[in-house]
Amino acid sequence: MIDKNVYGPWAVIAGGSEGVGSAFADQLAEAGLNLLLIARKPGPLEETATAVRDKHGVEVRTLAQDLLADDAVANIGKAVEDVEVGLLIFNAGANSYGHEFVTGDLDGFRGVITLNVDRQLELAHLFGGPMAKRGRGGIILLGSTAGLLGAEHQSIYSASKAFSRVFAEGLWLELKEHGVHVLELILGVTRTPAMERAGLDFDMPGLNVAEPEDVAREGLEKITEGPVWIAGGNYEGAKERIGFPRAEKVEGAAMALRKMMGR
C-alpha cells in the first residue's frame, strides 16, 4: 500500500470523479491520504467525495473545474495552498475533440492539446517543484496505448499521449535524484463510464478489458518503477504497437479499432 509518509499528507487527483480516478481516490484514502478531487461535473465529483469520506474518514476537498479554463491551474493551486501535496495524479486527459484533421476545427484540436499537454505540464510544475525541495513525493501521469501509434480521427489525441510518455521519461530522470517518483501509467481498454459513453463494446471476443480498481492498484504499486508502466496486461500488445514497419502497425491498429467501435 502507498506510504502516506512519502506521498502525503495530501494527494491531488485531476479527473477524480469516476472510473480510474475514483478508484485512485478510494485506494489513497484507504492508505490515509487526504484528497483534492478535481473534475468538471460537480454531481459525480461530490458523490465520489462523499463515498470516500464516509468510508475512510479522511478529509476530501472537491473542485468542480473545467481544465480548459484559463484560470484552472490558479484555482487548483488556491484549493490546496494551505496544505502539503505529496502526490499528483493526472487522470484528466481525454480525446475531447475527435475528428479528421484536415476537415476539423483547429480550436477543437487546440483544446485537446491544452487538456492533455498544457495542463499536465502546468500541474506537474506546480506540485513537482515543492516535492523536489522536500526530497519526497510522486507524480503519476495517465497515458494510453493510443499514444504508441497514430490513429485516424484522433491524431492529435494520440500525439498528446505520445508527448506525455516522453515528458514523463525526462521528468523521471530529473526528479529521481530529488527523491520524487514519476510514473507514466499507460492504460489500454478500461471499463470506465467514459468508455461506455463512447459506445465501446466490452464484450467483443478477444478484447482485453481492465478494471479501474486493478489499474489504479497497479499504478500505486509500481510508482517507484518508472518511468513507464504498461497496465492491465497490455505489455506484449504495447511492444507490438511500437514496432516496425510503421505503416503495417498503424493500419493494423486502425482496422482493429474500427471493428471495436462497430464501424
pLDDT tens, residue by residue, 96-108: 899 999 999 999 9
What domain range includes position 198? 4-260
Q: What is the pLDDT of residue 208?
A: 82
Averaged over 118-130, what is the pLDDT? 98
Contact partners, residue 62, CB within 8 Å, separation at least 6: 36, 37, 38, 39, 42, 45, 46, 49
How many domains in the chain? 1
Above 70 in pLDDT, residue 206?
Answer: no
Q: What is the CATH number of the domain that holds 75?
A: 3.40.50.720
pLDDT tens, residue by residue, 130-149: 999 999 999 999 999 999 99
For residue 64, the cross-strand partners are: 39
Q: What is the pLDDT of residue 201?
A: 65
Please give the single-letter amino acid code of residue 230.
I
Above 90 in pLDDT, residue 203?
Answer: no
Contact partners, residue 182, CB within 8 Å, separation at least 6: 138, 139, 140, 141, 168, 171, 172, 175, 176, 226, 227
Q: What is the pLDDT of residue 197?
A: 63
Q: What is the pLDDT of residue 59?
A: 98
| E strand spans, the chain | 10-14, 34-39, 60-64, 85-90, 137-144, 180-187, 228-230
Above 80 in pLDDT, residue 207?
Answer: no
Averaged over 231-236, what is the pLDDT? 96
Q: Return the active site residues.
A: 157, 161
Q: Quote the pTM value.
A: 0.94
Above 90 in pLDDT, residue 1?
Answer: no
